[in-house]
Amino acid sequence: MEISVRKMQMSRPEINPKSCDLHLNIDWHVDYHQKDDSSLVYVCSIKTIDKFPITLIVEGNVGFDNLKISEETTQLILDNSMKIMLNMVNITKETTTDENTVYNEIITRKSNVSQPKKKSIIIDPYLDC
């Protein structure tokens, strides 16, 4: 079986909650639609309940040998979608910085002839089964 991620969409609050001990309750579901004889399209939707409202939708494909989707497959998709959500929350969290630091960085970049380094995130589109 091969599971891949094709598309992700997340909405989250602009400001992180101040509590460091945050417990997230979630509402989730995974829907499957047959693509062809040997693959399905899945849509995993996760919504957090309570203090930190996040919505994550992960769409992808499941390639398989038999036409049966097990509970383990659904659990694997959910577990990996939760990992994606937590990583994306950490990547997009707010940071505070001193105004002088920002000003100095802007001046340094303007005086630098070379292009600034771009940060990129590599996400492996395949989940281990």
CB 58 within 8 A of CB 84: yes
Q: Quick one: pLDDT at residue 23?
A: 72
Question: Which residue in 52, 42, 50 sits closest to 14, CA to CA?
Answer: 52
Token code pair at residue 17: 């909650």
Using the structure block, give the residue that is written with the tokens 């991620």.
5
Q: pLDDT tens, 70-96?
A: 888 899 999 999 999 888 888 877 666
Q: Quick one: pLDDT at residue 42?
A: 93
Task: Give one word for 50, left, alpha or beta, with left for phi > 0 and alpha for psi -120 to 50.
Answer: left
Q: pLDDT tens, 98-114?
A: 666 766 777 776 665 45
Q: Quick one: pLDDT at residue 29?
A: 94
Give pTM, 2 decimals: 0.65
Q: Is 71 exposed, middle or buried (0-12, 13-18, 19+ CB in 10 A)?
A: exposed
